[in-house]
Structures are given as structure tokens and as C-alpha cells.
Amino acid sequence: MDRPENLCQVSRYRFLVQGLVQGVGFRPFVYQLATRLQLAGHVSNSANGVTIEVQGTSDNLIQFRKDLIHQHPPLAYIQELQKQEIPFREEAGFQILPSTQTEVGRTSIPGDIAPCDDCLSELFDPQDRRYRYPFLNCTQCGPRYTVICSLPYDRLATTLAKFTMCTECLREYGDPADRRFHAEPIACSQCGPQVWLETNGRRVAEKEAAIKEAITRLERGEILAIKGIGGFHLACDASNESTVARLREKKGRGTKPLAVMIKNLELAQQYVEISLAEEELLLSPMQPIVLLQRKPNESSLAPAVAPGTNQLGLFLPYSPLHQLLLTDRPLVMTSGNGSNEPIVIANEEARDRLSVLCDAILMHDREITTPCDDSVVRIFENRLYPLRRSRGYAPLPVKLQKSGSTVLAVGGELKTTLCLAIEKSAYLSQHLGDLESPESHMALDRCAHHLLDLFRVKPDLIACDLHPGYLSSQWAERFARKLDLPLVKVQHHEAHLASLLADVSWSGNDLLGVCFDGTGFGTDRAIWGGEFFCFDKSRSKRVGHLKYVSLPGGDLSIKRPYRLALAHLWAAGIPWSEDIPAVAACPPAERAILRQQLEKNANCTPTSSMGRLFDAVSSLLGVNQLASYEGQPAVELETIADSGPQEPYPFEIISGNPCQIDPTPLLHAIVQDLVRQVPAATISARFHATIAEMICYFARLFRQQVGLGTLGLTGGVFQNMRLLKEVSQRLHNEKFTILTHQQVPANDGGISLGQCLIARGQISS
């Protein structure tokens, strides 16, 4: 740019843009914007965000800032924009400079994005040079988080660095008019990753032939391990009952529902009911698994896909490779691992761990930096309600209202996630699963180091669950000692409530927090799970809970719900009649031992868990007596409930500080209905109505006493849509404001976020 004659009309500014501005086509957008406005300068990535220097006329600079904010790429968002005037200097044109290094990372990392429409068009265009190439991408789609090795985000900082771009890819990468301008994972069949099929460690087909052979094997009933974006899947024909059953047996999956991938939306509508909001989720750039209502009498899917539930976890092919593999035949796509193990991401690891679970392995040579399982979501009141936050959403930050200490929080024992809070951003890791094996423990360690290395920070504090027996808490203690850092132990349900408040950016003062889940270590060493908290400004206080009942045998009772049912009958003074399904399900010898335990209070832990009450009622009705996965009895109890409204059963409130809900009248009424042979579907519906009425009772009580008009609902029990909808309808009718999760799960997958806020001292008890 020539030096202007009138310097008063020309300025130079430096912008620092923070937020989701790397890996989403932001630098090419800035380049094209500045060029169109005839501005000189440059743009570059750093671990702090995107730095821009621009100079030109005042009018054009004003327009530049306006378009920067309002016209940026659709996947980007600007969290903070800093502007500083700097001296004018001689400079010709605008350019993208190499990335700069900073000590601490402040930029968001994009999640992995499904193919855009332009890339899909190329994938199936015989005239396009990327026709049927399983790894095509552009600035608006493709792998991000799972190929990033370090920040700032450049090709050399990804697992694509080992692939040297061919002449044509290099031309596209450097062409400002091309949509692959600075697309860091750019690749084609001539220079990029390749796919192959192998059995017993031997390659049997490569490239296109491997994809065709994989389809043939799936159609004839084989199980394949398929390397995807964030790890391996185990896949099979979802309509083949014997194959699905064989997959369950090999994986040790029990009866937990399996997710199904379907070629397109039109085919999906043959199996499930899809609302407009659910359709938008299925087609969104994240393309998560969406939990949907199955169509009545739909029978083309194998019964073993999702037994005991009328819901189906369904998703569309979210990578070019999946697009090429999917025919009109739906596929089971479940995480590539054995029972209680983390998902497999490396080829050699797949040969070692997955060969015994499958008949063949479809591999590729694009390395995965960090495992990232599929996200699971559903719609509640026409908006996102997360159940598992992972691929596509991780590690996108939750924006915090206040800055504070840098905290690494490690969540709980089940549905584990990590959270790294830096200033006003909380970066949640992908779903790590349940910490029940040495391999999952190592995955936790790798994920923690990966997050800290990416953002180049050392935490000021480590936060963990209060439960001393949790593997995550034990890991946190060792990690804190190793780094010589303070360790903050956070009560489980207080973390749930804090997570919800951060999720919805709560800025009010007073609310009633309802936290219902299965297990959480209480400050009195009991097992909590049916809790009410008053939140006042920055403090929470436990003001009510479900009355304690003895839990005989600890975790054994969780796996055998009839033990929970008998314990609840004992506490309610109801005889163990063999006419009650739960009593009949308990072997006589075990029943005798249970009676002794309860009489002597031996090996019994008091619990206020609402999740365990759901399990007990499921057993009382004969719905589920043996749980093969966490929450199964409650899922099946919800499934059988009548669709119509029902009158709630009675319950008793015991005054005190905190006050208690006594379910004794409820249990007596249920047993009476069983004797009268009232259908289990009706009893289930009345039970759900009763729990909803318990919440409404507390809401009315605390509005009357202290004027609380807002309720927050959190904890794993609120994954139950029948309960959540019934509570919401009742409270809305009574003019209450209701807070529910929007960004992180209500279950334990969200508590690491709450741990961060409490460890910072921004919420206290």
C-alpha cells in the first residue's frame, strides 16, 4: 500500500480475536474481507487466538470490524475482540503469516465436523478428483480436535503433517478463492491417508476395493471394526438378529441399547418419529446420536438392538468414510472396545484388542490424537438436552461469568469427563466413560495431559469428587501431589447444581435446586441422591432429601434391584410376601441373608437416592430384577408407563432441617395396587406423577417460605423424559421458572464443570 498523502484519514489497528476462531476458516475469511476492503496488513494464529493487523481508511476499517463480527464463518464464534491502535507502517497488500507461539493457550479448539454439502457433492461426483475419497474435507468441515497435536492450529501441528501435499492440493491450499484455502487437513487420494481391510493382521483389500469388501462382509452378517474420526466402531447389520446378539456377547454389552447409523433422513423416518428440532440435530455439523421415539410396531430392526425401550439412538454418517459404507441397510455402530474399556484409537491397539471381537478390521493411516466417542443428545422443549457430550461438542468451552483460578477437575466415577477452567472459559473434555478398568484409568491420565499440553497451562488447583473410593479421586490425589498443588474435594450433588448454574449462565440470586441421581457421597458419609438445595447468591444449602433407607451390600444391590425393593419394603414395614414380584425374584437363601443384614444393620449404607427408589419400584412391578447397565431398571420403568396423566400416590413430609420425604405411603399404595392387579403400566405412570408432585410440593413450600420462584433440575434421574416433562408442565402451570441443562449433561458427565466453580470459591456450601 502506498503511503497516503493525508495520514489523518488512515489508521492501523491490531485485533486479538478469541473464541472459536481456529480450524473454522477464520483466517481465509479475514484475508478475503481485508482484500475486498483494500486493507493492508496480516493475520496469524497463536495459542491465544487470531491476531490481525489492518490499515486503511477509517470507513473501510469500520466496515472491516463490523463484518468481522457479523459475517464470520458459520462455525466460528467470537468470545472476545480486543482492538488497539498502532503506528502506521509501509506495507503492501494483505497476507496470512505463519503462526506465532505464546506461553498460554486462550483459543477454543473446534470439534470434529461432519462433511459439508460441497464436500458431499464432490464425494459422489464421478468428475471430481476427490470422487469417493474417504478423507476429503475443507475449511468448513472435517476432523479437528482428534487430529490436533498442539496449538496454534496449523497443518504441522496435526497428524496430517506426515502427508506431503501434492501439487494440486498445494495449489488449493494457497488459493484465496478456493474453499480449501488454508484448510489444514487438506488431502486427496494422491497424497493423503488411505484405507484398507485386514483379517488376522493381513491386508486383503485396499482403497475402493476395501470399502466394497467391507460392505459385502457386513451384508453377509460379519462384525467389522471400523476406524472412524475419534476411534474405532464395532459395526454390523442392524437387521440381523443373530449378528447383533453375537456382537453383544463378544463385547460384553449385556442388554444396553446400541446406536444405529442410517444412510439418510428419509430412511431414518421409516424407523423413528422425527420432529423438526430433532431433524435439525441429526443434520447439524456435529451430527450426534439423537435419542428418538421408535415408530409403533416397527419390526425391521433386530430386537437385540434396543431391548426394553421404545427409544432408538440414531445418527447419520458423519464422515466421508461412513458415507461410502452406508447402503440402505442400517448398521449398528457401537464404540470399538470391550466391556469397561476405553475406545480404541490406534491400529496396533485394534489388532490386539478388537481382533477377538470382530471378523475383519477396516483401517486407515490418519492417526487420532485423542479418543472421542460419539455424542448422545435428545430434544427437550425444542432445544438441545445433552446426554453424552463428546464428538463435535468437545472441547468447546462453556462461557463463565467470572474469571478465577486455573482449575483441572476430574469429575466422578461414571460418565467421566475432565474440565479445565481458564479465566472465563471452561473446556470440557470428551466423554471418557466409566472408570472401571486399568485401561480407562490410563485414558484419564492421557486426556488430562493432552488438555494441559494443548492450552499450555499448569493448574492452580485440582478438584475431584468427595468420595474417597472413586478412582478419579485417587488419581487426582496422586496428580496433585506430583505437581505440588492444592486438592479440593467437592460434594457430588453440590457439583451437579453448580454445573447447572454454569450451564445456563445463572445470574440471579435465589433458587431451589433439585438434584436426583443414583449415587453421591454425602457430607454425613451417607449415599445421597434425592436432594433439595436452596441457592442464595453464591451459597447452597441442603434443605430437604428423600428419607434414608438402608442399602444392603452396596453395589451388589444396584445390580440386583430386588434387593433395593426388599430394603424399601423393610423400611416401610411391609411384609415380604412372595406375591410381590421383587420378593419372588430374590432366592430364599439370599432373602434370609438380607433380612439378617437389615435386622442387624450389618454392611448397610444409608441412602437417600432417588435413582435407587426408581430401581426398587421397577423391581416391585416385576419390570427389571437384574440390571446389566446403570439405570436400566428406571429406563424400563419409564418405557412401560401409560401415556395418559395419572393421579399421584400419597407421600409424607417430615419437618426438620433438612426436611425429609418419606415414601412409606407411596410404597404401601403400590403394593395395594399390585394385590388388586392394577396394570404395571398404570402404577408406573402414577409413580412418575408422584415424584413430579414431590418436586412441586417443595417448590410451593419454599416459594411460600422464602419467595423462591425458580427451580433448577439436575442429576441423572432427569434423563427420564416422562418425569422431566411432567415436572415442567406442572411447574409452568404454577408460574415457576425452570432451569434445565443445555450444554452439558444432567448426569455425571457434567459434574466436572461444577467442581471447577466450587473449587474456585465462586459457589460455596
Please name which of 493, 515, 544 lies closest in space to residue 701, comparing C-alpha atoms: 544
Handedness of CA 281, 284, 289, 293 (dihedral sign): positive
Distance CA 682, CA 420 (A): 45
Mean pLDDT of 59-79: 91
Q: What is the tens place of the pLDDT at every residue in 360-409?
A: 999 999 999 999 999 999 999 999 999 999 999 999 999 999 999 999 99
Q: What is the tens place of the pLDDT at every residue in 70-91?
A: 999 888 888 889 999 999 888 8
pLDDT at 103 (0 to 100): 57
For residue 4, pLDDT beyond 50: no
Q: Which three cell numbers stand for residue 308?
A: 426394553
Q: What is the tens place of the pLDDT at every residue in 451-493?
A: 999 888 999 999 999 999 899 999 999 999 999 999 999 999 9
Mean pLDDT of 341-355: 95
Average pLDDT, whole number, for the chain?
93
Task: Using the CB atoms, write b or e for 186-208: b if 16+ within 10 Å.
Answer: bbbbebbbbbbbbeeeeeebeee
Which residue blocks in 333-389 are alpha helix, DSSP H? 347-353
56, amino acid identity: G
Which residue blocks in 586-679 are alpha helix, DSSP H? 588-600, 610-620, 632-640, 664-675
pLDDT at 6 (0 to 100): 46
Q: Which residue has the higher pLDDT, 197 or 9?
A: 197
Distance CA 515, CA 529 (A): 7
Residues in a beta bridge with 12: 55, 86
Least confident range of 90-94, 483-487, 674-678: 90-94
Q: Is this prediction's pTM over 0.85? A: yes
The DSSP string of 53-104 is: EEEEEHHHHHHHHHHHHHSS-TT-EEEEEEEEEE------SEEEPPPB--SS
Q: What is the tens place of the pLDDT at every residue in 127-141?
A: 999 999 999 999 999
Q: Which three cell numbers stand for residue 5?
A: 498523502
Contacts of 419 (CB under 8 A, 6+ apart): 407, 408, 409, 411, 426, 427, 428, 429, 752, 753, 755, 756
For residue 192, pLDDT beyond 50: yes
Catalytic positions: 27, 45
What confidence tier does 5 reach under pLDDT thresholds 50, 70, 90? very low
Mean pLDDT of 249-263: 95
pLDDT at 37 (0 to 100): 95
